[in-house]
Copies of this chain bind each other. A is one copy, B any other.
């Protein structure tokens, strides 16, 4: 029989949040550490072990942890490794699942952060009861977690769901961090919004509150604030961003015909500013059979909770052997 608790760990570039979760999805204890504090990965694991052991003891949960689930950038469900090409302070690949399970003496399953968020949303959030949906995370990058037939899509190699890297502009597209050009992520991430602001301000002549600050300092938050204060150019930057995302979601629909897209992450806080052009871009571009039939909704989870809860759900999947 499964033990009564699981540990969820959300490993980000800056912070690592973790919590003890019960079978009903209550986070009964949680805390966090700085990811980048240790230049050696084993030291990081040691601190994580110390801190998590402390909250386990405080919660009187020793020996009652069924498994540990981790959501981490580029983490692979099949191999348990953090793959290359990720912005972390340690050399990759990193045998994350092995290191954690040996240190803790508890089985561990990992997946990437967007997949963990999707699992959280399916188990506890806006996608409860859905068997086919796609989570789109709009943060520094654009991530995705795809659920088909009630199962996460990991693909042949565990790296499925890189929807931030479909090509939206085949000619003269923006450079992307992946080394190619025109990726969705180069337009619809928080960074993409800032780049759009920079382009718009250079090319166009209109007045804008955004001209009051140095172009290179403008963030997506500045664009949001300006748009909320009625700035027309700032609103157009969101229109441009949302339209491209809506076009992308229309193509994704032709792939897996999801019941819903769940939008998550920093940019999701922009509300209608981003949602209205996403929906307009989607409905204008989707194959007629899906017009007005696919839900596009915001995540119902707090960002921190979603990641911890989503990761923790993997802790119920561990084999009991």
Chain A contacts to B: CB under 8 angstroms: 83-85, 130-132, 146, 148-149, 151, 153-163, 165-170, 178-180, 247, 250-252, 254-259, 285, 287-290, 293
CB closest residue in chain B, given A151 = B149
Across the A-B interface, the 5 shortest Cβ-Cβ residue pairs: A155-B257, A160-B257, A156-B259, A162-B254, A132-B156
**Cβ contacts under 8 Å, A169 to chain B:** 170
Contact B289 A166 (CB under 8 A): no
Q: Give Cα distance in the complex from A148 to B161, angstroms.
A: 12
Q: List 16 A-B contacts (CB under 8 A).
A: A132-B156, A148-B151, A149-B149, A153-B257, A156-B258, A156-B259, A157-B257, A158-B257, A159-B289, A160-B255, A165-B254, A165-B287, A167-B250, A170-B170, A179-B288, A180-B285
**Cβ contacts under 8 Å, A162 to chain B:** 254, 257, 287
Q: Give Cα distance in the complex from A255 to B179, angstroms.
A: 18
Given contacts A131-B156, A167-B247, A287-B162, contact A146 B256 (CB under 8 A): yes
Contact B157 A287 (CB under 8 A): no
**Cβ contacts under 8 Å, A180 to chain B:** 285, 287
**Cβ contacts under 8 Å, A156 to chain B:** 130-132, 257-259
Contact B247 A178 (CB under 8 A): no
Give which listed residue, B83, B160, B256, contacts A160 with CB less than 8 A: B256
CB closest residue in chain B, given A285 = B167
Contact A149 B159 (CB under 8 A): no
**Cβ contacts under 8 Å, A83 to chain B:** 289
Q: Give Cα distance in the complex from A153 to B155, angstroms.
A: 13
Q: Give Cα distance in the complex from A167 to B246, angstroms.
A: 12
Q: Give Cα distance in the complex from A167 to B247, angstroms.
A: 9
* Given pairs A132-B155, A159-B290, 4 additional interface contacts (CB within 8 A): A149-B153, A169-B170, A178-B287, A180-B285
**Cβ contacts under 8 Å, A259 to chain B:** 156
Q: Give Cα distance in the complex from A247 to B166, angstroms.
A: 10
Contact A289 B85 (CB under 8 A): yes
CB closest residue in chain B, given A164 = B254
| Least distance between A135 CB and chain B CB atoms (Å) | 13
CB closest residue in chain B, given A252 = B255
Q: Give Cα distance in the complex from A258 to B255, angstroms.
A: 13
Contact A167 B251 (CB under 8 A): yes
Contact B166 A254 (CB under 8 A): yes
**Cβ contacts under 8 Å, A257 to chain B:** 153-162
Give which listed residue, B130, B153, B168, B251, contacts A256 with CB less than 8 A: B153
| Least distance between A253 CB and chain B CB atoms (Å) | 8
Q: Give Cα distance in the complex from A136 to B180, angstroms.
A: 25
Q: Give Cα distance in the complex from A287 to B162, angstroms.
A: 9
